[in-house]
Amino acid sequence: MIDIVNQVNATHREIGSQAFAGGAGRSLLLRRTYDASIEDVWSACTGPDRISRWLAPIEGDLRLGGTYQLKNNAGGEIQRCERPHLIRVTWAFGEGMPTELEVRLTPGGDGGTVLELEHAAPAAIVDEMVRMHGPGGTIGIGAGWDLALSGLDLFLRGVAFDPATAGDTPEVKEFAAACCHAWGPAVQTFYGTGDDDLATAVAFAVQHYAPGGGNG
């Protein structure tokens, strides 16, 4: 059972400028605190058996410089791995353009762990997509990461969660839609989007990116 309000409110969301492969980039940043030790969260984010229980089954040469592939999801190269604080990988769907994903862990209060997930892509490509289609795609990608990080929270707390079937439930669809709306302030802060344009972008993201939406 997902506590939708608390799960949505648990995450800080931000869109910013982040260097990408030595050039200008745009990034989505999500930050939230888990009630688990840094070693436990690190293990959940890097151990193949544990990753499959909250994100997707993974295979590959899982070491620095090796490659990985998530089932029915992205794959790429492992660029940095600094236990238990940082992992950076390239992230691409099929033959799509590789982007960069970095997960950073720091100790939080009362033995917890602060996780930051930053997903970056070339600024020119992101800005052109936003210019042509609005920020709905950006919102949708962010909401997809919201769902993943909530799955991690459920897993760390021992709550039954099957990532393969999670999107089939009305509860998860409602949660994903709420996350699309929660990205609105970050979009307005970065792009200066007006209220009407923002409402259109959120509606697009809900329709096309929330589980069960137009693009599933």
- Cα 50–chain centre separation: 17
Q: Supply φ then ψ for residue 64, to 5 degrees.
A: -55, 125
pTM of the model: 0.92
Residues 6+ apart with CB under 8 A from 138: 15, 28, 126, 129, 130, 183, 187
- Identify the pLDDT of residue 167: 67
List the structure tokens of 136: 């709905």
CB 117 within 8 A of CB 149: yes
Per-residue pLDDT of the chain (216 residues; tens, 9 = 90+): 578 899 999 999 999 998 888 789 999 999 999 999 999 999 999 999 999 999 999 999 999 999 999 999 999 999 999 999 999 999 998 887 889 999 999 999 889 999 999 999 999 989 888 888 889 999 999 999 999 999 999 999 999 878 887 767 888 889 999 999 999 999 999 999 899 999 999 998 998 876 644 333
CA distance 165 to 154: 15
Domain formed by 4-209, architecture: 2-Layer Sandwich (3.30)
> How, if at all, do strands 113-122 and 99-107 pair?
antiparallel
151 burial (CB, 10 Å; 0-12 / 13-18 / 19+) is: buried
List the structure tokens of 171: 């509860």
- Identify the pLDDT of residue 216: 35
- Identify the pLDDT of residue 213: 44
- Identify the pLDDT of residue 107: 96
